[in-house]
């Protein structure tokens, strides 16, 4: 409850954060049924815009001030996020530089023949260092952040194979990738974000089979493991 003597209220948060996943159909309304207080305040300053197209036209206004210092991302990831928030973020010098990360990957792989996951990591390292790689397709247009990589998977399964089979194969690839990264980077946290709980379960099972300790796992020696596996919704605001 608010006291009568209070004159100022501070509302902090992210007006573009994903809303909870809810089942059901609800009529469209001028005030969002499941929106946040911050989102309503932002919308109040731009009432002429549709509800789904709300954006902040300036870094600050009479009721709004956007924090631009980013302690989570390097400059490349900040550039990518700017496409969503349409603001320039200032990355703070708390993350390892990409070149240093790329050298770690290259040193770990060495010059020997490496499996499929290793070739993907080698391509990542080359893009981080050189901006290109014969193993990677660079987007023909738009920003080219060297910290975001997409792996397209193709299988020889029959067309009507059960979805569970596809998800299990996907989990095995993710498991191998995380296993390699955990060997290369022995202190950093690793996050695996999945859209659905069944993927979270399969990936967790795969990583546990390698002897890796997951954050919050009952099998882990401590609850503060450095490998996180969870859904998009549950990992919001964690790190």
Per-residue model confidence as pLDDT tens digits over 61-78: 666 777 778 777 777 777
At residue 119, what are phi and psi to the nearest 5 degrees?
-65, -35
The residues of the chain scoring below 70 in pLDDT are 1-6, 18-24, 26-36, 42-63, 93-96, 111-114, 141-145, 218-224, 237-239
The pLDDT of residue 54 is 46
- Please tell me the distance from the alpha carbon of residue 236 to that of residue 167, in angstroms, as a whole number: 23
Q: What is the pLDDT of residues 76-97, one digit of tens each?
A: 777 777 777 777 777 776 455 7
Note the pLDDT of residue 48.
43
Distances from the Cα of 167 to the Cα of 83, 195, 200, angstroms? 31, 12, 10
pLDDT at 94: 47
CA distance 149 to 101: 14
């Amino acid at each position: 409850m608010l006291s009568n003597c209070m004159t100022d209220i501070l509302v902090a948060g992210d007006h573009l954060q994903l809303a909870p996943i809810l089942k059901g159909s609800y009529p469209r309304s001028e005030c969002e049924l499941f929106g946040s207080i911050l989102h309503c305040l932002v919308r109040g300053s731009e009432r002429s815009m549709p509800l789904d197209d709300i954006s902040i036209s300036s870094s600050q206004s009479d009721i709004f001030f956007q924090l631009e210092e980013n302690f989570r991302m390097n400059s490349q990831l900040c550039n990518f996020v700017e496409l969503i928030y349409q603001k320039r973020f200032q990355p703070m010098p708390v993350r390892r530089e990409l070149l240093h990360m790329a050298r770690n990957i290259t040193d770990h792989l060495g010059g020997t023949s490496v499996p499929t996951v290793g070739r993907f990591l080698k391509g990542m390292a080359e893009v981080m260092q050189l901006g290109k790689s014969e193993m990677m397709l660079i987007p023909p247009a738009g920003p080219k952040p060297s910290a975001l990589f997409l792996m397209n998977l193709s299988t020889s399964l029959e067309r009507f194979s059960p979805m569970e089979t596809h998800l299990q194969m996907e989990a095995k690839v993710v498991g191998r990738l995380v296993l390699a990264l955990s060997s290369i980077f022995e202190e950093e946290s690793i996050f695996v974000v999945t859209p659905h709980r069944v993927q979270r379960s399969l990936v967790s099972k795969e990583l546990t089979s390698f002897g890796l300790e997951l954050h919050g796992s009952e099998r882990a020696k401590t609850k503060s493991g450095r490998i996180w596996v969870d859904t998009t919704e549950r990992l919001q605001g964690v790190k």
